[in-house]
Structure 1
Amino acid sequence: MNYDQLMFNINAYKENNQILDLAKFLVYEFELDHPNLEGFGFRDELEKNSILLTANGDIGERQMVLIPRNLFDFEFNLVINMIAHEMLHVRQKSPEMMLEDKNEREWQAYYEMLFHTNFPNVPDVSDYHKKFFAEKALEYYRRMGEGSELQAKYADQKLKVLSLIDNIQHNQA
């Protein structure tokens, strides 16, 4: 589906206040689906200028992704990346993966937002958001514990994230 058709469909869902259906549509359209997804529900909006989505459910159980009603008022590439982030959590918490460590889950999800290794159809975000997500990834990397097995596991990916930040800063100079 081309961009114009996609935006037409998104606007049609929004005009009919079918926000949860729109989220489901995008999951299928961008090949983000996983059998561990129970569905979408609403969560309270934090404030007009911030977005918070969550994958709710115990590890090993099906996940309900909660989204704010105003999710689709934000820039599309950011929104689809936020949905992809939560859909990676849906996979991570599935009975097949059962990834226990929150820092590892968050590292993987933010890394995904930068490099789209699991969801190659998801478009890139702006450099501003890439830098923000890279810094969030590094925060969770630090929380893994200095010199830990987890840090060693993701050391090469960390170098890619640091290189991305350097490239963004160099391009902005």
Structure 2
Amino acid sequence: MNFSKITKKVASFSVEGKTKEAALWLLQIFDIQDDYFAGFEYREKANPDFILMTTEGEFGEPQKIRIPENTFEFPLPLMLSLLAHEMVHVRQKTRQPYILDRNEREWQAYYQMLFKNVFPLVPDISPYHKKAFANKALEYYNRMEPNGALQQKYANQKQEVEQFLKTLENQ
């Protein structure tokens, strides 16, 4: 199914007030699924300046993702990228060794948004959002203990993100 048809189908779900159903369908279409995903719940409406999705649940237990009821009022590639970000958190919290450090969890999830290493079918997002998410990734990297084990573990990926930012600045 081409992206135009996918967008139309999501719009029809949205008009019918079926945001959760649209999100579940998209998880299947773009292979962003996980056996430990327990479903969607709603949270407060989003606005263009602040779209919040969260993954909730105890470590080792199935996880729920909270999404705004108006999720699909925003660009579909961005929403897919945010869903993939949250699904990375589902995996981090349900597979041992669990990723206990929040900075590491966020680093890995933002890295996924940029390089799609976990969910390669997610479409590209705008250069604006790529830059914003790259900067957010670096923010979480910098919150890790300076020169500590986590920063050392992700030093090569940090260089990739920095190089990625440089290529974005030249566009």
What TM-score does the superposition give when structure 1 sets the normalisation length?
A: 0.95
Alpha-carbon contact 2:72-2:79 (below 8 Å) kept? yes
Residue identity opposite 2:156 in structure 1: D
In the alignment, which residue of structure 1 is the partner of 2:154?
A: 154
Q: Distance in 2 between matches of 1:144 and 1:96?
A: 21
Q: Distance in 2 between matches of 1:64 and 1:115?
A: 24
Moved over 4 A (4+): none
Tell me the secondary structure at the aligned position of residue 66 of structure 1: strand
Q: Distance in 2 between matches of 1:133 and 1:43?
A: 22
Percent identity between matched residues is: 42
Matched, 1:163 2:163: yes
In the alignment, which residue of structure 2 is the partner of 1:119?
A: 119
Alpha-carbon contact 2:145-2:151 (below 8 Å) kept? yes
Tell me the secondary structure at the aligned position of residue 66 of structure 2: strand
Trace 1:1-173 onto structure 2 (pairs within 5 A). Answer: 1-47=1-47, 49-171=49-171
Number of matched pairs: 171
Change (3 A) 1:13 1:55: same
Aligned-residue Cα RMSD (Å) equals 1.2
Q: Distance in 2 between matches of 1:123 and 1:59?
A: 29
Contiguous gaps of at least 5 residues in structure 1: none
Q: Distance in 1 between matches of 2:130 and 2:48?
A: 21
Tell me the secondary structure at the aligned position of residue 12 of structure 2: helix
What TM-score does the superposition give when structure 2 sets the normalisation length?
A: 0.96
